[in-house]
Amino acid sequence: MVVFVIKPSGWMTPLDANNLPQFSYVHKPAGSPDEIQTYRGLEPTGDLPESVDFPLYKTRNSRWFNAIVTGDTQVYNDREINYLRDSLVKSVKGADALFCIAEGDNVGDDLSLYPRYLEVMSQMGLPIYYVPGNHDLDYDATSDNDSFDTFKSYIGATYYAFNYGDVHFVVLDSVEYPSESTDGSYNGVISDEQMAWLANDLAFVPMDHLVVLNMHIPIVSDVDSTSTKHQVDNREALYT
């Protein structure tokens, strides 16, 4: 279970040392299942605490703002993290932007790179919202519920929302793993749980506000329109 707060416009959550907004709490009493062995997964959280609180502090609410959007940094080793530092991060540092969204495939399968990756990305000097991608998976998971446990341990929620100005940003986990549709590989699917949450979430968004959907596997792809891996299978449900 993951509990999170949806940041209102004009307010902000605290940031950690890696400029990660602190808006979610991951609860897994027994921790990750035994099959999660390659990377750290989630430690047991034990019983629910008496309360889960998310501080918010007031900020200036501007209708007009800039944001940095990036994706598929997909670093495979420390050398590639250096390339990331000396290219993207260097060019963005000091930019006139309120935040950054990283659209998944943050690392390239080696989840042990996350600590240094997050530290280097933090040098942008901006709050960073992360989307999970298929190269961020725990590939030894046998259930989709456990497949992003290591991502959750470093970052937090895999789906959530936040507001800046008159824009409502939604992050979705569009990676199902393992998937029966692809013989145990990953597939582009938005879970029923997320669909139910999204319908409830959007019911509270003013009709004159822009809604921006963020997910790694896109709703539709022109790259390989016949592959279920490269687009969301159940995309029609987003519009019903």
- What is the structure's pLDDT at 184? 82
Annotate 12-40 with b (16+ C-beta within 10 A) or e (fewer): bbeeeebbbbebbbbebeebbbeebeebb
Token pair in block for residue 117 = 């990756």
Residues near 207 by beta carbon (within 8 Å), at least 6 away in sequence: none
State pTM to two decimals.
0.96
Report the distance separating Cα 156 and Cα 152, nearest Å: 4
- What is the structure's pLDDT at 82? 99
User: Widest CA span of the chain, in angstroms?
Assistant: 49
- What is the structure's pLDDT at 229? 85
Task: Name which of 72, 89, 69 is nearest 18 in CA terms.
Answer: 89
pLDDT digits (tens, 9 = 90+) for 19-44: 999 999 999 999 999 999 999 999 99
Q: Per-domain residue ranges for the chain?
A: 2-171
Q: Looking at the predicted structure, is the pLDDT value of residue 75 above 80?
A: yes
pLDDT digits (tens, 9 = 90+) for 214-240: 999 999 988 777 777 889 999 999 888
